[in-house]
């Protein structure tokens, strides 16, 4: 699940089905069609000049959710999402609630690093910019939420405080199969996302993941901090993202800024700017810069998003200056 913002409002519809006396099942989904175009310059000394490309893509999501009240006063919420794009991928979650506390067993459906982002309309700046070529700025850098995991959480200070743990082996979606070792080791994430006061949103997280199976002598660490404030139709915020591989290479720090403006009930405009510094010892690599502008229009069950990204020194390579355009529609069913 890519944690995308579907413009400015939820676009996923649902149908309730009859079940047990204290249970409810809902079925819904969405279909996404994307057109992308890009212009790529590999380096300042490129002999091939600019390269361009265009393409169409699609993704369909089928969502099933259910809830049940238990005799002891607790409740269980289950969620299942089947995502079809280049291949089928399933995401599941079972959450047991007891007052303000909850326990989760899930894959790709729990609050994590990707839940924290500077204000934007539609796709993340990295998602649009990567239509041209790989970027140094990657949302979250590491995300233990994408692996099978367990988590405990507490509703506090107007939000959720969540501690998540993913083991280094997975059952690979099979409840009676053998465990499959991950390319990376086990990891954990601790995060808080919420609004402690009116109009103010805060996100803070720290995640660690062990290195490869053959070499668990160091951890890959990632941090995120985001503060955003809403003033009427305008929301502005800043995000700091950090990846540290505990080696002499691959230490990335990003400052990302975002402003969104709800120009009308169905129309939103987003501006974003992100600077990523490759903070290696003695590094002479230039900072990668991404500028993103997005226009989002919502017709209820149908959303339209138009985005343009300009990238300078992509992936911290001097002269790798790219542009990318994306048109995305999302329709609920």
d(CA 64, CA 73): 24
Q: Which two tokens stand for residue 103?
A: 């326990």
Confirm whether 42 is domain-assigned.
Answer: no
Residue 325's pLDDT band, with cuts at 50, 70 and 90, is: very high
User: What pLDDT score was predicted for residue 221?
Assistant: 87
CB distance 216 to 225 below 8 Å: no
Tell me the per-residue pLDDT of 54-82, one tens digit each, with 9 for 90 and over. Answer: 888 888 999 999 999 888 889 999 999 98
How many domains, in total, are found in the chain? 1
Residue 170's pLDDT band, with cuts at 50, 70 and 90, is: low
Q: Does 232 score more than 80 pLDDT?
A: yes
Where does residue 319 fall: left (phi above 0), alpha (psi -120 to 50 degrees), or beta otherwise?
A: left
User: What pLDDT score was predicted for residue 196?
Assistant: 95
User: What pLDDT score was predicted for residue 40?
Assistant: 82
Q: Which domain holds residue 106?
A: 15-34+55-332
Confirm whether 228 is domain-assigned.
Answer: yes
- Mean pLDDT on 251-261: 93
Confirm whether 146 is domain-assigned.
Answer: yes
Confirm whether 45 is domain-assigned.
Answer: no
- Mean pLDDT on 181-195: 84
- Mean pLDDT on 98-107: 94
Where does residue 248 fall: left (phi above 0), alpha (psi -120 to 50 degrees), or beta otherwise?
A: alpha
pLDDT greater at residue 23 or residue 41 = 41
Pairing of strands 148-156, 101-107: antiparallel
Q: Which two tokens stand for residue 245?
A: 């591989």
d(CA 333, CA 31): 8
Confirm whether 9 is domain-assigned.
Answer: no
Confirm whether 122 is domain-assigned.
Answer: yes
User: What pLDDT score was predicted for residue 11?
Assistant: 39
Q: What is the CATH number of the domain that holds 185?
A: 2.40.160.10
Highest mean pLDDT among 43-52, 149-158, 211-220: 149-158
Burial, 241: exposed, middle or buried (Cβ in 10 Å; 0-12, 13-18, 19+)?
A: buried
Centre a 10 Å sphere on the Cβ of residue 143 and count the other Cβ atoms it contains.
Answer: 22
Q: Which two tokens stand for residue 272?
A: 């974003």
Q: Which two tokens stand for residue 206?
A: 């720290």
Q: Does 177 score more than 80 pLDDT?
A: no
Confirm whether 4 is domain-assigned.
Answer: no
d(CA 39, CA 302): 29
Q: Does 281 score more than 60 pLDDT?
A: no
Confirm whether 2 is domain-assigned.
Answer: no
Question: How much is the mean pLDDT over the chain?
Answer: 83
Place of tokens 């300042």: 44
User: What pLDDT score was predicted for residue 46?
Assistant: 44
Tell me the per-residue pLDDT of 119-158, one tens digit each, with 9 for 90 and over. Answer: 999 888 988 988 888 888 887 678 888 888 999 999 999 9
């Amino acid at each position: 699940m890519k944690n995308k913002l579907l413009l400015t409002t939820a676009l996923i519809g649902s149908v309730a089905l009859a079940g047990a006396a204290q249970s409810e099942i809902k079925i819904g989904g969405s279909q996404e069609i994307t057109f992308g175009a890009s212009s790529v310059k590999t380096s300042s000394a490129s002999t091939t000049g600019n390269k361009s490309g265009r393409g169409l893509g699609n993704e369909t999501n089928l969502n099933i959710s259910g809830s049940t009240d238990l005799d002891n006063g607790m409740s269980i919420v289950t969620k299942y999402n089947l995502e079809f794009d280049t291949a089928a991928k399933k995401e599941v979650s079972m959450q047991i609630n007891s007052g303000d506390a909850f326990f989760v067993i899930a894959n790709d459906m729990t609050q994590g690093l990707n839940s924290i982002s500077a204000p934007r309309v539609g796709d993340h700046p990295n998602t649009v910019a990567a239509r041209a070529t790989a970027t140094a700025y990657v949302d979250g850098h590491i995300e233990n939420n994408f692996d099978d995991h367990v988590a405990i959480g507490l509703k506090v200070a107007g939000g959720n405080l969540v501690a998540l743990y993913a083991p280094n082996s997975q059952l690979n979606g099979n409840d009676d199969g053998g465990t499959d070792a991950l390319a990376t080791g086990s990891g954990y994430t601790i995060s808080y996302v919420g609004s402690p006061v009116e109009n103010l949103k805060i996100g803070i997280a720290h995640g660690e993941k062990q290195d490869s199976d053959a070499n668990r002598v160091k951890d890959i660490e990632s941090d995120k901090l985001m503060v955003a404030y809403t003033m009427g139709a305008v929301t502005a915020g800043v995000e700091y993202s950090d990846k540290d591989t505990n080696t002499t290479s691959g230490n990335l720090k990003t400052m990302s800024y975002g402003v969104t403006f709800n120009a009308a009930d169905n129309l939103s405009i987003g501006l974003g700017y992100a600077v990523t510094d490759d903070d290696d010892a003695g590094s002479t690599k230039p900072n990668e810069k991404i500028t993103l502008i997005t226009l989002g229009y919502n017709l209820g069950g149908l959303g339209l998003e138009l985005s343009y990204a300009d990238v300078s020194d992509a992936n911290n390579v001097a002269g790798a200056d790219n542009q990318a355009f994306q048109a995305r529609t999302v329709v609920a069913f």
